[in-house]
Amino acid sequence: MRESYGEKVFKVPIDAGFDCPNRDGTVAHGGCTFCTVSGSGDAIVAPDAPIPVQVEKEIEFLHRKWPGVKKYIAYFQNFTNTHDSVDVIRERFEQAVGRPDVVGINIGTRPDCLPTETLDYLEELNQRITVWVELGLQTTYETTSNLINRAHDYQTYLDAVANLRQRGILVCVHLINGLPGETHDMMLENVRRVVTDSDIQGIKLHLLHLMTGTRMQRDFHQGALQLMAFDDYVTIICDQLEIIPKHISIHRLTGDAPRDMLIGPMWSLKKWEVLNAIDDEMTKRNVFQGDKAC
């Protein structure tokens, strides 16, 4: 961001009121088994307010810690932010990107919700403002994908990335470490596949948070889910960083979860301890991102 804009830039999360195709019956029901009722928007300050008001309130909230920041990225975060007609998508996005201090837009969505008319609008929008599309993939394994009710396959993701890149749109992929049944080698292979199979510019690596009110909570109580230990998470993140090429930007190494909704791992609440442990392990190994990239 500093290279692009010359200064620190805020990412402002927005709840635009979209739904998901695997919640409303378009492709499935119930949503992903790890997803809360807010669709990963649990930390948004005023999710029920009009979009321009949400932007103002988020900026006010963030300025308590960083008062000098003057540029922002509108982050359409929770649920599937291209799951509607292009007219509805345009009307909601334009409420945020019309501000002169908004220099970019990040759009969280699914690979199966990018029809041609939506892609055409995003291409046009990308001529006016920097557009990142964040694709929730979570895993490259079909067995895991079916287990967590993603309701799309890996090829759909590959096709979506190709369509976005043909239009010059930046792509960030989301992966979750700690999904049910996935081993260390499988988590490493998830990263290896996306960086070799698809033309991505960014990646988000998440820890699986087990949250109250999710379908995955039942699996945990039935003994079908083992939460990751702190040391195991640090190890897999460092192993993944070593194989991610240096030109791919790291958008996240862990995530946040509201304390009152989190079942575990509870160590994830100490985010800076996690990030510092990752730094320490990389230093101990004397390695950098991409040192083992193909």
Q: Does some domain include residue 203? A: yes
DSSP, collapsed to helix, strand or coil, labels residue 172 as: strand
CATH (domain of 45): 3.20.20
Q: Helices 230-243 and 271-285 meet at what angle, rounded to 10?
A: 50
Question: Nearest CA to 128 among 102, 110, 152?
Answer: 102
CA dist 16 and 81 (Å) reads 7
pLDDT for res 38? 55
Domain extent for 127? 2-285
Query: What's the whole-number average pLDDT of the chain?
Result: 91
How far is residue 172 CA from its own chain's centroid?
Answer: 8
Q: What is the pTM of this model?
A: 0.93
Domain-embedded: residue 197: yes
Residue 88 lies in a domain: yes
Instruction: Note if the bond before 265 is cis, omega within 30 degrees.
Output: yes
Number of compact structural domains in the chain: 1
pLDDT at 147: 87
pLDDT tens per residue, range 129-188: 999 999 999 999 999 999 888 889 999 999 999 999 999 999 999 999 999 999 999 999
- Does 290 reside within a domain? no
For residue 293, being part of any structural domain is answered with no
Alpha-carbon distances, residue 221 vs 212, 224, 257, 263 (angstroms): 11, 8, 20, 11
pLDDT above 60: residue 39: no
- What DSSP character marks residue 209? P
